Amino acid sequence: MAETFYVMNNFPQVILDELRTVFENKEYDVTKEVVPGRFWHYCLNDKSHPVYRHFSDDFDMIEFYSVSPGFKNSPHLDRGRWCALNIPLDVDLENSFFYAGKYFHTSHYEWDEQKNAGNSYLHEASEHGPKGFYKWDEDKMEKYNLEKPVLFSSKVPHGGNNVDGKFLRTIVSIGATNRKYEEVLHRLPPEWF
């Protein structure tokens, strides 16, 4: 497996269940329909919400993403965060996947001129560090079905693919905007790995 993401084999079920409840009860603050009828982004910006107690101050944003069958994200770098913990809520493990580039240096990937010419992010976000879109290259990407949560560097091309998915794919993504991947990796509870 690439070092650009780590599977969290022992992520606490109690936290996963609480995050699922937050989503199901619509306790988020903001809803964005990023691509009408296909891609939704829900933000829990209220840091006083009790679910934030499970995460150190390394993590400062909780977001939920849902994509319809047939949808995929292009390989991209996040604008507003350095890394994230992606946690599956409802994922077709047989037919959809998370992916991240195998290499940290973006010179390994082909820049997507067309997507970078416009605002392909489709919504506003604060910006930290490099950003941009890259072309898919199967040989340079590591796929994972997201059976378990992953911590990944969001400054490596990454995304999600639900093209062959049979149902809506929903994940929660806990982001770090002030600490980089390597820092967060070593600060997480070791028993989560």
Cβ within 8 Å of residue 64, ≥6 positions away:
23, 28, 41, 42, 43, 44, 89, 170, 171, 172, 173
What type of residue is 164?
A: D
pTM exceeding the 0.85 threshold for the entire prediction: yes
54: which DSSP letter? G
**Is 192 within a domain?**
no
Longest dimension (CA), the chain: 43
Walking along the chain (193 residues) 10 residues at a time, the average pLDDT comes out as 93 98 97 93 96 93 97 92 97 98 97 80 60 94 97 97 98 96 95 96
Q: Residue 173: name the closest of 100, 67, 84 by CA.
A: 84
Distances from the Cα of 81 to the Cαs of 61, 69, 75, 84, 157, in angstroms? 9, 26, 15, 7, 13
pLDDT value at residue 123: 46
How many domains is the chain partitioned into structurally? 1
From the list 176, 181, 169, 168, the residue with the least C-alpha distance to 145 is 169
Domain limits at 42? 5-187
CATH of the domain at 18: 2.60.120.10
In a domain, 30, yes or no: yes
Determine the Cα–Cα distance for residues 191 and 126; give it in Å rounded to an integer. Answer: 32
193 assigned to some structural domain = no
How many Cβ atoms from other residues are within 10 Å of residue 90's Cβ?
12
What is the C-alpha to C-alpha distance for residues 155 and 132, in angstroms, rounded to an integer? 9
- The answer to whether residue 49 sits within a structural domain is yes
Number of H helices, E strands in the chain: 3, 13
User: How many other β-carbons are positioned within 10 Å of the β-carbon of residue 29?
Assistant: 11
Determine contact, residues 44/132, Cβ cutoff 8 Å.
no
73 within domain boundaries: yes
103: number of Cβ within 10 Å? 17
Q: Is residue 107 part of a domain?
A: yes
Strands 61-67 and 39-44: antiparallel
